Amino acid sequence: MLNSYLLFWSIGMLFFAAEWLKPARPIAYRAVFWRDLFALGVYNLSFLLVVQVTDRIPVPQYLPVALYNLPTAGKLLLFYIVEDFGLYWVHRLMHTSLVWPVHRWHHSPTSLYWLAGIRATIPHIALFNLTYVAALPLLHDASAWAFPVIMMEHIARNNWMHVNVTWKSSWLEWVFVTPRYHHIHHSSDPAHQMKNLGALLTIWDRVFDTYYNPDDLTGELKFGLSERVNPVRLVIGV
């Protein structure tokens, strides 16, 4: 647990440094950091609660026997493809009017930087965690190192998607989500809503018609909600 926190903040310091060197937009850190530190506390507690339930879901073993001897790297690849496909559809579901309240808090920051994406309600964490649980059988008999690697990759990735940097890579975006790619998803412009829903891979957005090419962006992005919501309801997700 202590190692996880150390790694979390070590990576966070690197993101802070990148944002200080090449910021995409000015961020009033003093105005938002303590709020996001509170959100991080809520996230950590919520995650501990959520896994008490999701870890007990009996998911049948569906990895074909022929693939049992696949190297751990191969199983990880399968795991990430299946999990990411699930994450895309869960995220898309969260943008329907019925489920939107559980995801609204995540879209509330008006300034995006690495820690701003940590805002997540309990049902938000639970729904996303279900995709992890559903993909777990693909790691049947995988080496033990795969699991802490996935956990830290998930945390680092969520923070990475929100980093406030000018850095861009059009070629990397053919496959992977980058900060500027995800920032479009946070835009309050109706033209960007329901766009770039991908978490790790950009292919689902291309295949399912929710892709917005960051190179096509003109003008400055504005972030945040277009509705006023009671802060307690925002954090609880109702």
Q: Which is nearer to Zn ion, 79 or 160 (CB)?
A: 160
- CB under 8 Å to 190, separation ≥6 — which residues? none
By beta carbon distance, the residue nearest Zn ion is 117
Q: Which of 86, 117, 179, 237 binds Zn ion (CB under 5 A)?
A: 117
Supply the minimum distance, in Å, between the C-beta of residue 186 and Zn ion: 6
From 113-121, 129-137, 139-147, 226-234, give the range in contact with Zn ion by CB under 5 A: 113-121
Q: Which is nearer to Zn ion, 92 or 168 (CB)?
A: 92
Q: Which is nearer to Zn ion, 140 or 157 (CB)?
A: 157
Q: Which is nearer to Zn ion, 76 or 177 (CB)?
A: 177
- C-alpha dihedral sign at 188, 24, 212, 32: negative
Q: Which is nearer to Zn ion, 75 or 103 (CB)?
A: 103
From 7-15, 79-87, 115-123, 140-148, give the range in contact with Zn ion by CB under 5 A: 115-123
Q: Which is nearer to Zn ion, 87 or 133 (CB)?
A: 87
Residue 177 CB coordination number (10 Å): 22
Q: Is 198 in the site for Zn ion (CB under 5 A)?
A: no
Supply the minimum distance, in Å, between the C-beta of residue 232 and Zn ion: 21
Total site size for Zn ion, rule CB under 5 A: 1
Secondary structure string (H, E, C) spanning the chain? CHHHHHHHHHHHHHHHHHHHHCCCCCCCHHHHHHHHHHHHHHHHHHHHHHHHHHCCCCCCCCCCHHHCCCCHHHHHHHHHHHHHHHHHHHHHHHCCCCCHHHHHHHHCCCCCCCCHHHCCCHHHHHHHHHHHHHHHHHHCCCCCCHHHHHHHHHHHHHHHHCCCCCCCCCCHHHCECCHHHHHHHCECCHHHCCCCCCCCECHHHHHCCCCCCHHHCCCCCCECCCCCCCHHHHHHCC
Q: Cα separation of 97 and 201, whole Å?
A: 25
Q: Which is nearer to Zn ion, 142 or 160 (CB)?
A: 160
Supply the minimum distance, in Å, between the C-beta of residue 182 and Zn ion: 6
Supply the minimum distance, in Å, between the C-beta of residue 79 and Zn ion: 22
Supply the minimum distance, in Å, between the C-beta of residue 117 and Zn ion: 4
Q: Which residues bind Zn ion (CB under 5 A)?
A: 117
